Amino acid sequence: MPRHESIPSEIEKLREDIRRHDYAYYVLNEPVLSDTQYDGLLRRLQEIESTHPDLITPDSPTQRVSGSPLASFEQLRHKVPMLSLDNSYSEEEIQQWLDRITKILDTKNIVFVLNPKIDGLSLSLHYKKGDLFQAATRGDGQIGENVTLNARTIRSI
């Protein structure tokens, strides 16, 4: 079978593999792959989708934040989508990322805060008059878990 006829099946296999690894990582807390191996799967999917944009689907792992809120926590909707970090290896990839963010947020007036990437939990913290009012995990980027009581036990928060 010619290479181009196998592209849709390769895309589907990559998507299934990534979803399976997302479940193992985010739900079971039992990662099967190293970050480098996982990034390799995601990067291959991104490469194929960039050359075949007609095959991109809204549920593709390249089009969403991995993870979903746990049922054991109250769910909170983020006021502004809490997007995930993307790995970028060139200026062109950084520009593509910025273009996607601009499109998702539907504005060009975006302020960024850049910090070194430290693996761990991402939180959205809201304060009222200097006091922590609400803390939520990223979840799926639209809805996260309410972890306010947990966050209040962290002195630096």
Give the residue numbers marked as catalytic. 117
Using CA atoms, how far apart are residues 139 and 145, in angstroms rounded to an integer?
Answer: 6
Q: For residues 9 and 48, what is the distance between their CA atoms, to the nearest angstrom?
A: 11
Distances (CA, A) of 104 to 60, 100, 101, 146: 15, 6, 5, 24
What's the alpha-carbon Rg for the chain, to the nearest Å?
Answer: 18
Contact 49, 11 (CB under 8 A): yes
Give start and end residues of each alpha helix (H) in the chain.
3-22, 35-51, 91-105, 148-151
Report the alpha-carbon distance of residue 10 to residue 51 in Å, rounded: 13
